[in-house]
Structure 1
């Protein structure tokens, strides 16, 4: 490079040095501790790091101007270390990012179960707990179903009870009527007996009268048996009707 080209560069360098002296005059005119004492913590850290980086950069430039391999010099490692402090200060100044990650409870549960798979005591307790919960749920379901079924069957049972009571009442009435008829027949026969007995006292009864009495008695017994058979038949038919009605209500 020719000397004519260097003169403008030297003039610019001189101007820059003068400007630098004016800027550094407040720092160089008094001790650094007095200057940094009034600053906040973050600004004080920036000041110390910047001064250190400036001095080491000047040394690095001086070594390169004198033909020394500055990258192999210890000052290069110091410059790298100071740059790390710049990164730390920058990280402190930036606001922390909001965490968007959430815990996957199902995945965490699988990891825990897998980690405790070899623990026989834990496996046994977990199996017992799950079995108890399952049995309790089944018991509650059965009780609820039983309660619903009882509520549904209660009205039908009341209706059946009313019908059966009415039918039994009618059967009892018919039975009472038959018994009353039998009692009347027996009473009439017993009242008819004394005249015959009285006749035997006065004279011997004829064979015709005794035969008529026996025939009347056998007829009464036959009528009584027929009434009993008819009553049984009526009861059987009513029982069949009752069973059919109950089956229809259940269906």
Structure 2
């Protein structure tokens, strides 16, 4: 039993040290330089810590777990756990987004980088023109073959008037 009390006392001392750091300055000042996800982590961590400490205090005072105060604290802890899950989900989604490559953007980037080479640019333009003109040329070729295949009708000779 003595060992458990010593461990509890040490844990409470560590909590006091952390709370002293947090009470020295306003929370806005402490989190001013943090990115939004880290600010959310700090705020959720504080909410969870405060509620957990209140729950421990009530239990140490012998308050029943069926008491309205403890049930409200448990509900609040569950709500904060939900926010913790949302933060974890957001982090996972952010990691997933970073791993994906936008192929169109990569293509534009490469073309732009290579477009400084005039030979490459001219070749790309020539190819694009050939691709645009190829269907038209093919259609014109087919049309001329059709016209050659069909004999032209001769017009009857005009009679001379007397």
Task: Look at both structures and tell me which one has the larger radius of gyration over its CA atoms.
Answer: 1
Q: Would you tell me which structure has more helix in proportion to its own residues?
A: 1
Q: Which protein, 1 or 2, shows the higher relative CO under an 8 Å CA cutoff with sep ≥ 6? A: 2
